[in-house]
Structure 1
Amino acid sequence: MTIRVKICGLSTAETIEASVAAGADYLGFNFYPKSPRSISLEQARALAAGVPSSVLKVSLTVDADDRTLDGVVEALQPDILQLHGAETPDRLVEIKSRYGITLMKVIGIAEPGDPELCEIYRDSADLLLFDAKPPKSMAGALPGGNGLIFDWSLIAGHRPEMPWMLSGGLNAENVAEAIRITGAEAVDVSSGIESAPGQKDPALIEAFIRAAKAA
């Protein structure tokens, strides 16, 4: 089995090219304005042109309204909508009905009961992303991309009924161990391949993908 890799928060043609060359399976584009990785619709339109059809484009939004999603879908033409907020199962059904695009729901993990939250999305999401839930004490924390690791043993025995990815503080040094403990078949990275917040490093991208694929 080859591990699938998602490189998230891309904002330049150079890092898209590096990700594709290194073997990324998914490329993520952030449309959450408070994130240092956020891009405009104009940027998305230009960047999307450089993504080969063999690699899936993923749009990241947080509790976005229809107008925002309309713009994202038109500009990026995403293969997957990653929903990183408090979207309810009913909201997912609305979004799926409106766009007919694969939906990925993010589930924040911090304590033993959190993995069970995915059960409510069983009939509305197509795949899940387990990410570290920022602590309440972390003022101004983003919903994701904070470089935080959660206790991987919390999901080690948890097997959702749909495909899922692992995220949260992953980097080239720890991704193999994370895969070994959780049994993840797909991993997602953002801050772990940056030289500074929002600044992706082609060398770190290549190292991460190599480490994940070799796990």
Structure 2
Amino acid sequence: MKIKVCGLRDPENIAAVSGLDVDYLGLIFHPDSPRFAGQPSLSEWLTDNVALLNGHERVGVFVNGEIDYLLNTVHDYHLDWVQLHGSESPGYCQELKLLWSVNTLRRASICKAFSITDDFDFRRTNDYVNSCSLFVFDTGGQAQAGGTGKKWDWSKLEEYQGPVPFLLSGGIGPEDAAAINQVRHPQFKGVDLNSQFELEPGRKDVERLRQFIRELN
């Protein structure tokens, strides 16, 4: 099972989390987020510590960002993925993929997040299949994008019939390991952890994460 820890921004904390059995390190580049990681000092630290973070893929989370901003951030922060967490259209994702195919800039894979509500129609994901390699299914119906600490009804996953693998997100906490181990969807790839494992916004509780990871399959 893949594990993504999102909302990181403190170098010392990033180094500690990278010592755990995690796959993705998530950095949020939405200026309105209390976990905003867009600091030049962090970019410099990431550049200087490439070896330390080897084996971990870096995910930049954006909310309706300008494409130039995404391209520059991927380069400056050595990102492997962009996670689009707003209302980005299929055309937006296709344009981003096309730009990376025709220039020499650092490239990233595209992940699209969807806000799941009781009436969400998973057929909406179909138009993103050709441009996105991964989906995130997060809690919908919230004023803010991500980091809400709220869960959604995971039984609704039965309605997803698409070919793109997904990460389960939205209010996952230390008490949820057993329930996650019961998820049997063929496209279930892993979990996206954030606010329920924090000491404060942007700083994770490493020991709480370590124990939770031990409890997962």
Q: Which stretch has the larger CA shift, 37-46 or 81-90?
A: 37-46
Q: Please tell me the residue identity of whatever aligns with 1:169.
A: G
Q: Deviations over 1:154-208 (max 9, x none)?
A: 1135242012111000012113303413533311011011123333222222223
The answer (yes or no) to whether the contact 1:134–1:148 under 8 Å persists in 2 is no
1:125 equivalent to 2:132? Answer yes
Percent of pairs identical after alignment? 30
Q: Please tell me the residue identity of whatever aligns with 2:89.
A: T
Matched residue count = 206
Q: Which stretch has the larger CA shift, 142-151 or 201-210?
A: 201-210
The answer (yes or no) to whether the contact 1:44–1:75 under 8 Å persists in 2 is no
Q: Distance in 2 between matches of 1:134 and 1:43?
A: 34
Name the structure 1 match of 2:170. Answer: 168
Q: Distance in 2 between matches of 1:61 and 1:143?
A: 10
Alignment of 1:7-46 (within 5 A): 7-46=5-44
Name the structure 2 match of 1:196. Answer: 200
- How far off its partner does 1:146 sit? 0.5
The answer (yes or no) to whether the contact 1:63–1:87 under 8 Å persists in 2 is yes
Q: Which stretch has the larger CA shift, 85-94 or 71-80?
A: 71-80
Name the structure 2 match of 1:4. Answer: 2
Q: Deviations over 1:30-56 (max 9, x none)?
A: 000111100124144134243522110
* Secondary structure, aligned partner of 1:19: helix
- How far off its partner does 1:149 sit? 0.2
Q: Please tell me the residue identity of whatever aligns with 2:76.
A: A
The answer (yes or no) to whether the contact 1:145–1:168 under 8 Å persists in 2 is yes
Name the structure 2 match of 1:180. Answer: 182
Q: Which TM-score applies when normalising by structure 2?
A: 0.87
The answer (yes or no) to whether the contact 2:74–2:80 under 8 Å persists in 1 is no
* Secondary structure, aligned partner of 1:181: coil
Q: Please tell me the residue identity of whatever aligns with 1:128.
A: F
Q: Which stretch has the larger CA shift, 147-156 or 51-60?
A: 51-60
Q: Deviations over 1:71-127 (max 9, x none)?
A: 311211111110001111110011112234210000110114333321121122111
Cα RMSD (Å): 1.8
Residue 179 and residue 55 in structure 1: after superposition, are their counterparts in 2 closer, same or farther (change >3 A)? Answer: same
* Secondary structure, aligned partner of 1:33: coil
Q: Deviation above 3 Å: which 4+ runs of structure 1? A: none
Unaligned runs of 5+ in 2: 101-106
Unaligned runs of 5+ in 1: 136-140
The answer (yes or no) to whether the contact 2:198–2:204 under 8 Å persists in 1 is yes
The answer (yes or no) to whether the contact 1:25–1:56 under 8 Å persists in 2 is yes
Q: Distance in 1 between matches of 2:184 and 2:33?
A: 28
Q: Which TM-score applies when normalising by structure 1?
A: 0.87
